[in-house]
Amino acid sequence: MLMKAAAQSLTEQLAMRLGERIRNRLLVPGARLPSVRQCAQQQGVSPSTVVAAYDRLLAQGLVEARKNRGFFVRETMQPVAALSLIATNSVIDSRMAAGAPAPRAPVNATALIRGMFQGSGDKPQPGMGVLPPQWLETTFMPAAVRRVTGTRVLQDFSLQYGEPAGDSGLRQSLSKKLARFNMQVAPGQIITTVGATHALDIVSRTLLRPGDPVMVEEPGWAVEFARLAALGMRVLPVPRRADGPDLAVMAKYCEAHAPKLFVSVSVFHNPTGYCLAPGSAHRVLQLANAYNFHIVEDDTYSHLAPEYATRLCVLDGLQRTIYVSGFAKILAPNWRIGFLAAPPELVEPLLDTKLLATLTTPALLEKALAWCIDQGQLRRHAERIRTRLDLARARSVKLALAHGCSFAAEPAGLFGWVETGVDTDALSQRMLDDGYLLAPGALFHASRQPSTLMRINFATTQEVAFWKVFARLRDAMH
């Protein structure tokens, strides 16, 4: 809240608050600021204070005034944003060709990335994409690092580059781990990466060229839309249903555009929590074979899901599929260890792309992770996390329902897809004033559309204090 007794004036405090949000892309280019009257009511200040604050933002070049329309965040067409607009225009073209309405505005390429990792005090954040740090604290991780960083070992592995494909011990451990999913993958088919997002990027840069059509599930992970947009790809959004992607839409895309790739989160889809049904999986693979495209299966949430969950790579045997996963969600986000498993004929081209970007990956942390897997520490840790998450989900769902929300998808996994009844873009700005970062529904679409949905993290929405603030601000919008 703005403080009257603070050293800075209310005008300075308000201008600083809004300016910080604009710079961190929590207010994206093109976004409209609240009217002077609305802002004054929200912040508990006079209209003249708001006018003075907006004038400061105008002077700083952060906003622009449009006659009879209000104040808007200035567009900054940086290279990445320009590429995003090009790719988003491809989305607009494909949707308008199918008779769909044109979207309101393109998603900023880095808005969600900046927002999700922007600190918002010590409150649990409903919009975050990872488990709380205290959930991930272990004794075996420090032990694993100490084990592989003895003086001799540290020197041996620090004074030379690691293996191009990644530590051989970790790749052997991953091969055995994947076998528990009934996925038979030789260590030579596995390449380690700097997180799962890096693995997705390696696949895209290897198999695609600017302008190539790519099918992506919608709603979906905003970073994937932004990443493909930055590469200049033509994004073809495929509606995600409870049993899998909309097969009719996929078939039409295949006939009209000959897509090169389909990116899918089969298990605990983000943000809906849906899991792929066997029948849909078989049909997707039939389309891939008939129309000659590859499938990237992003299994980021594998450690939170049952091993028997339907996975395209298991059914396909890594013929047209490429498997991607990592350990940020379950173990150590900052270790940045991910991997991909690919058909034998794609391993060398994918490895070449990795070498051009990073040369290699850190062997020490990869060796520590291998020890965690081989000793069963990771498996036991994941079991504890799943139990804790089940309890958290039950509490969070109960609170959401009690405060007037409903779920657009059956609650499962880490995330809930929640119907709020109000524009969550506008709601998210109001929640920021109370220290809460939301993930509004518009961020999970290839092009920014008004949405009354939001994604919540079940692990960080167990406190009634958040839901009370949410309900108060939502009701005020009504």
What pLDDT is recorded for position 290?
Answer: 97
The three-state secondary structure class of 192 is: strand
Contacts of 329 (CB under 8 A, 6+ apart): 130, 131, 300, 301, 303, 304, 414
Mean pLDDT of 205-209: 97
Q: What is the pLDDT of residues 65-97, one digit of tens each?
A: 998 889 999 976 444 433 333 334 444 344 434
Give the domain 10-73 fold: Arc Repressor Mutant, subunit A (1.10.10)
- Where is pLDDT greater, at 229 or 28? 229
Residue 31's pLDDT band (cuts 50, 70, 90): confident
Q: What is the pLDDT of residue 284?
A: 98
Mean pLDDT comparison of 61-75, 338-352, 430-444, highest-scoring range = 338-352
Q: What percent of the chain has pLDDT over 90?
A: 67
3-class state of residue 215 by DSSP: strand
The rounded Cα 111 to chain-centroid distance in angstroms is 11
Domain 136-375 has CATH 3.40.640.10: yes
> How buried is 187 (Cβ within 10 angstroms: 0-12 exposed, 13-18 middle, 19+ buried)?
middle
Summary mean pLDDT of the chain: 88
Q: Which tokens go with 171?
A: 């790749």
Domain boundaries, the chain: 10-73, 136-375
196 vs 204: CA distance, rounded Å:
13
Distance of CA 392 to the CA centre of its chain: 21
Look at residue 26 in the predicted model and tell me its pLDDT.
77
Task: List b or e across 55-87, with b for residues whose CB sees 16 or more CB atoms inside 10 angstroms.
Answer: ebbeeeebbeeeeeeebbbeeeeeeebebbbbb
